[in-house]
């Protein structure tokens, strides 16, 4: 039976170690009418809309690589496996999982998939939706559903796997995931360019759209964020370009990128520094703004104008047309100040990540879409047991 523990403070928690134990936990919770908060590494529990739950279901014990055959370039691991463990196992064979979400590398695979989180590498490789091949979940009625498979192409049956990616656990507790891997490029080199002038971002965007090179990552960083990455005195937007391929290709790509300005070579840890900045204690609020890719330079400028007077930081995965904002939230006065920033943000698709409960306004959805969403939720979790409220639609 899964170990149950009640800490001095906070909610009780259960720590299952097998899928069968997760099933038992969900069935127990269902019988008792106790909603469950699903917990991976516990590093991002304040993400998502306010979620009220009686008990924490921790997946630490559902942890480990289940199957890894390097020649297949696929890997199956349990939901609670940390990304860093996957990185270590695959690096031995010159391979990697090309997902570097916020909090990388300490988050878990299950949480990355559940939240659909991604980082700069999404520029070339897409998000979890493009990289997850299959998963095992325990639904809100305690069924074990094994969707998708372990091969890189698969259209057998309706795509329940895609539904689980980004469902924030509300359709099932993710106990196992199969992902696509890639061989690491022969050369993997990062260069940094300061984008001076008023049209620096527009030029960088145009360059990316027209260059024959496909950088592994092309991330734009606001001056204030650049400062935290150790580029103190530049006072310009920075473009972080990660170039991969064979020697000749990377050399030519560097040469081409020099058209944007002088290239600097950053410390090795720059990407980890960037992804772990999402966990900074002073900037606990975050959200993403997005629009059609061609409008990214305007979206970037308007976002910077709205957030910088209040000390906000921003970075953008240019190719995806997305700007991510990190906003200060360190004391009680923060909520009012945050509300002010949010109202100043440009009009765009707004995906909140972490915001105080008071500021979580669910976007009004078209009624047909809303009924499809509710139908899906009810089909997998009729009693709304799993992470209730976390998608802003309890």
Site for other proteins in 16-75 (CB under 8 A): 33, 35, 69-74
User: How far is the C-alpha of 114 from the C-alpha of 168, rounded, in Å?
Assistant: 5
Options 78-86, 231-239, 269-277, 348-356: segment touching other proteins (CB under 8 A): 348-356
Q: Shortest CA distance to 175 belongs to which of 49, 43, 24?
A: 24
Cα atoms in the Cβ-side hemisphere of radius 13 Å centred on 78? 18
Q: For residue 351, how many other CB atoms are within 10 A of its CB?
A: 14
Task: Tell which one of 106, 273, 288, 310 touches other proteins (CB under 8 A).
Answer: 288
Q: Note whether 289 binds other proteins by CB under 8 A.
A: yes
Q: Note whether 1 binds other proteins by CB under 8 A.
A: no
Site for other proteins in 99-138 (CB under 8 A): 116, 126, 129-130
Q: Note whether 157 binds other proteins by CB under 8 A.
A: yes
CB of 380 to other proteins, least distance (A): 7
Q: Note whether 309 binds other proteins by CB under 8 A.
A: no
CB of 8 to other proteins, least distance (A): 27
Q: Which of 152, 259 has the CB closer to other proteins?
A: 152
Q: For residue 140, how many other CB atoms are within 10 A of its CB?
A: 28
Task: Tell which one of 92, 212, 331, 332 touches other proteins (CB under 8 A).
Answer: 212
CB of 54 to other proteins, least distance (A): 11
Q: Note whether 203 binds other proteins by CB under 8 A.
A: no
User: How far is the C-alpha of 23 from the C-alpha of 2, rounded, in Å?
Assistant: 10
Sheet containing strand 217-221, strands side by side: 263-264, 187-195, 237-245, 217-221, 313-317, 322-327, 285-290, 349-354
Task: Tell which one of 11, 42, 61, 149 touches other proteins (CB under 8 A).
Answer: 149
Q: Which of 309, 362 has the CB closer to other proteins?
A: 362
Number of H helices and number of E strands within the chain? Answer: 13, 19
Query: Are the C-beta atoms of residues 213 and 252 closer than 8 Å to each other?
Result: yes
Q: Which of 76, 222 has the CB closer to other proteins?
A: 76
Q: Note whether 189 binds other proteins by CB under 8 A.
A: no
User: How far is the C-alpha of 122 from the C-alpha of 130, rounded, in Å?
Assistant: 9
Q: Note whether 154 binds other proteins by CB under 8 A.
A: yes
Query: Are the C-beta atoms of residues 222 and 315 closer than 8 Å to each other?
Result: yes
Site for other proteins in 161-180 (CB under 8 A): 162-163, 165-167, 171
């Amino acid at each position: 039976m899964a170990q149950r523990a009640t800490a001095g403070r906070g909610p009780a928690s259960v720590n299952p170690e097998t899928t069968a134990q997760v099933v038992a936990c969900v069935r127990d919770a269902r019988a008792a009418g106790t909603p469950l908060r699903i917990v991976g590494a516990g590093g991002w529990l304040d993400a998502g809309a306010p979620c009220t739950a009686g008990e924490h279901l921790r997946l630490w014990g559902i942890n480990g690589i289940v199957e890894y055959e390097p020649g297949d370039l696929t890997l199956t691991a349990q939901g609670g496996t940390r990304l860093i463990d996957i990185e270590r196992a695959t690096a031995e064979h010159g391979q990697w999982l090309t997902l570097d979400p916020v909090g990388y590398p300490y988050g878990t695979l299950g949480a990355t998939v559940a939240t659909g989180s991604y980082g700069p590498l999404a520029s070339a490789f897409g998000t979890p939706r493009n990289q997850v091949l299959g998963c095992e979940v325990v639904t809100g009625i305690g069924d074990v559903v094994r969707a998708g498979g372990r091969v890189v192409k698969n259209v057998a049956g309706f795509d329940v796997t895609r539904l689980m990616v980004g469902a924030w656990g509300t359709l099932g507790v993710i106990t196992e995931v199969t992902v696509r891997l890639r061989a690491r490029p022969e050369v993997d080199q990062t260069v940094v360019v300061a984008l001076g002038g008023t049209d620096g971002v527009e030029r960088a965007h145009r360059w990316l759209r027209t260059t024959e090179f496909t950088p592994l990552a092309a991330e734009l960083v606001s001056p204030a964020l650049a400062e935290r990455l150790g580029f103190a005195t530049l006072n310009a937007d920075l473009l972080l370009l990660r170039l991969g391929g064979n020697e000749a290709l990377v050399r030519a790509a560097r040469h081409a990128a020099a058209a944007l300005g002088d290239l600097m070579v950053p410390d090795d840890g720059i990407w980890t520094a960037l992804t772990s900045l999402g966990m900074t204690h002073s900037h606990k609020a975050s959200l993403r703004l997005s629009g059609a890719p061609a409008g990214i330079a305007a979206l970037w400028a308007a976002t910077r104008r709205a957030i910088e007077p209040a000390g906000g930081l921003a970075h953008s995965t240019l190719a995806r047309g997305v700007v991510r904002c990190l906003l200060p939230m360190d004391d009680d006065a923060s909520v009012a100040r945050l509300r002010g920033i949010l109202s100043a943000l440009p009009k765009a698709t707004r995906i909140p990540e972490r915001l105080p409960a008071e500021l979580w306004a669910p976007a009004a959805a078209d009624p047909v879409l809303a009924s499809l969403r509710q139908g899906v939720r009810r089909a997998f979790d009729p009693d709304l047991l799993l992470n209730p409220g976390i998608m802003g639609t309890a």
